[in-house]
Structure 1
Amino acid sequence: MLVYVWSQRNPYVRMNFFGLLNFQAPFLPWVLMGFSLLLGNSIIVDLLGIAVGHIYFFLEDVFPNQPGGIRILKTPSILKAIFDTPDEDPNYNPLPEERPGGFAWGEGRRLGG
């Protein structure tokens, strides 16, 4: 899924697969699926990742930018409360021991005068 979303968000990036195959980034999930098939592995996981990545990319990047489109996927507010950085207080004045070096540079005294 992450490979699909990255490849769709970076369509002009040139890729090189083992020095043999040159292609644009949107083809990366398909190249990796072909390589899995070539190695004899099941491609079900690759197809599932492509499908889920396509749904996520469409709902997050394509549909909200369409006329009348809305953003369907929203981060729950509890996660925002836990992981977002708090807004900085513009009136915050750090204590002298929190300042780098601990010196009051440029505060009130002039040399030679």
Structure 2
Amino acid sequence: MQLYFFTSFGSKLERSDRFSAMPGDYAYFSVVVTFLIAVLSVFLNYPSGMPLLGSSFIFAIIYYWSRIEPNAQLSFFGFVIQGYQFPFALMVFTMLMGGDIWMDVLGLGAAHIYYFLRDVVPMEYGKEYLKTPEFMNKLMVRAGAGQPGAAANYQRQAQMRQQRDMRFQGEGHRLG
């Protein structure tokens, strides 16, 4: 389930208007949220912090996506809910199944701090505290971020093969 959430909501978030402009924005989001999760985990479990924080990172991705896509319609076990309700529906589901929600709360807290510093503060106070550093954008451009991947290359090659194979098809006319 975690892997599905990571791939699904991670790609939705990466393709959103918030991160599609500059290739380093999503990587910077990942670095900042990971740092915030590590710091907050020390506060929740002093002095060593919590051991496995992957589910918190995935929940942070889900929460931040829900903040930038609040009106998206989702189906969750047959119930149609709005995007802003999805993280809380996941937490309720985890509690109903007897799970611990502290890792979810940790991810929610880190993502909300990021959301507040990245989206709310610049709009309300005119100060940008979490602007993506230019070296991060240059690094991602050099690594090829934002370029079509292997699937796009395969599809393009298949289209070229199909066009090449169809070049000489037709009814044909006898010349002699």
TM-score with structure 2 setting the length:
0.44
**What is the rounded CA distance, in whole Å, between the counterparts of 1:69 and 1:27 in structure 2?**
29
Does the 8 Å CA contact 2:118/2:131 hold for their aligned counterparts?
A: no
1:15 Cα shift? 1.8
Higher helix share: 2
Aligned length in residues: 83
- Of 97, 101, 106 in structure 2, the residue corresponding to residue 48 of structure 1 is 106
Bigger mean CA deviation after superposition, 39-48 or 73-82: 73-82
The equivalent residue for 1:32 is 90
Note the residue ranges of structure 1 that are not aligned, 5 or more in a row.
Answer: 86-113
**Map of 1:10-89 to 2, 5 A cutoff?**
10-19=69-78, 21-66=79-124, 68-84=125-141
Greater relative contact order, per chain length (Cα 8 Å cut-off, separation 6+): 2
Kept in 1: contact 2:63–2:111 (CA 8 A) = yes
RMSD of the alignment, in Å?
1.5
The CA distance in 2 between the partners of 1:12 and 1:76, in whole Å, is: 30
TM norm structure 1? 0.66
Identity across the alignment (%): 37
